[in-house]
Chain A
Amino acid sequence: MGLDNLTDDGACVYACIGVLMLQHGLMALRMSMYRLAGSPGEGKPNSPLNRFSEQQLLHAEWAPVGAILGLALMHKGHLPPFYRDCLVGSFTLSRVCFSATPLLGLPHIVDIVSMTACYLSTIAMAALLIAY
């Protein structure tokens, strides 16, 4: 069995979708907590609320894109599972890293690398969907 035939049941894609959507739910829940607390620091640049709100909005924008591309590639079934899993996995990892970087105060380079990985995997998945 070669790498091309690993994880043919889509387990990796489903787990990645789960991770993306779990992060979506948890970040939205945190925003609701801020709202229930009266939105302290709203409108002030660099307040914790503003920084978190921006991250939450970005994740809400990107998570469905990766999930839909992963599902579409899986059901189309033309791309070898190993490459498909790598693409969906790197998309998921990049979203988690991108959100974690400013929240945990990680170096800026992590931000740049994860953002680039997210763009590249999105473009690659979309192009492969068209090409196959």
Chain B
Amino acid sequence: MGLGNLTDDGACVYACIGVLLLQYGLMALRMSMYRLAGSPGEGKPNSPLTRFSELQLLHAEWAPVGAILGLALLHQGKLPTFYRDCLVGSFALSRVAFTTAKLVKLPYIIGLVSMVTCYNTTIIMSALLIYYGVN
């Protein structure tokens, strides 16, 4: 059995979708807490609410993209599972790292690398879906 046949049941893809959407739910819940508390600092640049709101919006924009691409690649079944899991895993990891880097104020390079990873994995997964779709 080569690397291409590992985790053929899609466990990694489903776990990554779980991570992405769990983060989605938790971030939305935190935003609701801010709203319930009367949205302190709304409209002020660099207030905790403004910064968190921006991150929450970005995650809400990207999480479904990774989940859909992961599911589509899994059910298309043409990409070797190892590469598929690596792509979906690095997408999920990049979203977690990007949010953490901004929230915890980790070095700028971590945010940059995770953003680039997210773009790269999205473009690669999309291109592979098209490639295997037409071939």
Contact = CB atoms under 8 A, between A and B. Distances in A.
Interface string A28-42: 110010000000000
Contact of B126 (A11, A18, A60, A75): A18
Contact of B127 (A22, A28, A29, A60): A22
A67 B134 contact: no
Main secondary structure of the interface of B (DSSP, over half): helix
A32 B115 contact: yes
Contacts of B130: 14-15, 18-19, 22
A67 B122 CA distance: 14
Interface string A3-24: 0000000111111111101101
Contacts, number: 78
Interface residues of B, number: 24
A25 B115 contact: no
Nearest to A24: B65
Contact of A71 (B72, B125, B134): B72
Contacts of B71: 71
Interface string B61-72: 110110011011
Nearest to A66: B68
Contacts of B134: 11, 15
Given A11-B134, A21-B122, A25-B122, A68 B68 contact: yes
A63 interface: yes
Given A25-B122, A25-B123, A18 B128 contact: yes
The interface centre, meaning the residue of B68, B71, B75, B122 with most chain A CB atoms within 10 A of its CB, is B68
B75 A71 contact: yes
Interface of A: 10-19, 21-22, 24-26, 28-29, 32, 60, 63-64, 67-68, 71, 74-75
Interface of B: 61-62, 64-65, 68-69, 71-72, 75-76, 115, 119, 122-123, 125-134
